Amino acid sequence: MDTTDLKHHYSQQFNAELEDLRTRVLAMGGLVEQQLSMAINAVNCGESEAAEKVILNDQQVNACDVDIDQRCTRILALRQPAASDLRLVLTVIKMTADLERIGDECKSVAQMALRAAQDDKGWNLIGQVSHLGTQVQQMLHRALDSFARTDVDEAIEIVHEDVNIDREYEIIIRQSMTYMMEDPRSIPGVLDLIWAARALERIGDRCRNISQYVIYFVEGRDVRYSSLDEIKKEFGG
Burial 163-199 (b: 16+ CB within 10 A, else e): eebeebbeebeeebeebbeeeeebbebbbbbbbbbbb
Does pLDDT of 2 surpass 80?
no
| Cβ neighbours for 163, distance < 8 A, ≥ 6 positions apart | 228
Instruction: Give the global pTM.
Output: 0.92
Domain boundaries, the chain: 3-235
Give pLDDT tens digits for 178-208.
988 988 888 888 888 899 999 999 999 999 9
Q: Who has greater pLDDT, 193 or 103? A: 103
Query: Quick one: which of 123, 136, 108, 125 has its CA closest to 173?
Result: 125
> What span, in angstroms and rounded, lies between the C-alpha atoms of 56 and 100?
14
> CATH classification of 3-235 is 3.60.15.10, yes or no?
no
Give the confidence band of 11 by pLDDT, cuts at 50, 70, 90.
confident
Does pLDDT of 60 surpass 70?
yes
Give pLDDT tens digits for 119-145.
665 566 788 898 999 999 999 999 999
CB-CB contact of 35 with 57 (8 Å): yes
pLDDT value for 188: 84
Give the confidence band of 8 by pLDDT, cuts at 50, 70, 90.
low
> What span, in angstroms and rounded, lies between the C-alpha atoms of 80 and 63?
25
